[in-house]
Structure 1
Amino acid sequence: MGSQLEGAMETLINVFHHYSGKEGDKYKLSKKELKELLQSELGCFLETQKDAGAVEKIMQDLDENGDGEVDFQEFVVLVAALTVACNTFFWENA
């Protein structure tokens, strides 16, 4: 068995690919796939968002190359940003 970090990396990869490719490019998330991923995997985060266009804004922020889809590298940026934002909360409440 690998380390905790290796397990976390594997989980991140598996989660991305579980949702990607249901429509269009199998290595990218469409807006619909991203929304499904966010609702299923980060539902508590989205519940706190009062903005009905939150997924649209997240999509625009992540889609660096403007192709209307989120690739794995763009997805990792989201996870890293959320991890940084949550670091203090989780560390102090552990």
Structure 2
Amino acid sequence: MSRLLTAMNELIQIFKEYAGKEGDAKTLSKGEVKTLLSKELGINLEAAKDKAALDKMFKDLDANADGTVDFTEFITLVAAITAILQGS
């Protein structure tokens, strides 16, 4: 398997690992997103001082406004973080 296919498979597996612990196995709840970002990227959203900005981030991430983050929305987040890191 190519490196890119391996990376894509890993993203799918990570999503599946965190999705469904608080509900639907095909989506991430706000809590599941927080846990995923904390464990996989070391981002502690609980320590965020600007809770309104944090709520806006989740609202923007939830493109279809269903209150959860589906795989497409998750991949959008990963791509945005990747682009930020690549620019560093």
Q: Verify same fold: TM over 0.5.
A: yes
Query: Paired residues, what number?
Result: 88
What CA RMSD, in Å, does the superposition of the two structures yield over aligned residues?
2.2
Match of 1:43 in 2: 42
TM-score normalised by L of structure 2: 0.85
Sequence identity percentage? 51
Of the two, which has the highest radius of gyration?
1
Match of 2:21 in 1: 22
- Runs of 4+ deviating beyond 4 Å: 52-55
Match of 2:65 in 1: 66
Unaligned runs of 5+ in 1: 90-94
Deviation at 1:45, TM superposition (A): 7.6
Unaligned runs of 5+ in 2: none
Aligned pair 1:83/2:82, yes or no?
Answer: yes
Q: CA deviation digits over 1:2-60, x for unaligned, max 9?
A: 111011001111111100001211100001111100111121585xx653455433311
Indicate conservation of the 8 Å contact 2:37/2:43, yes or no.
Answer: no
Indicate conservation of the 8 Å contact 1:21/1:27, yes or no.
Answer: yes
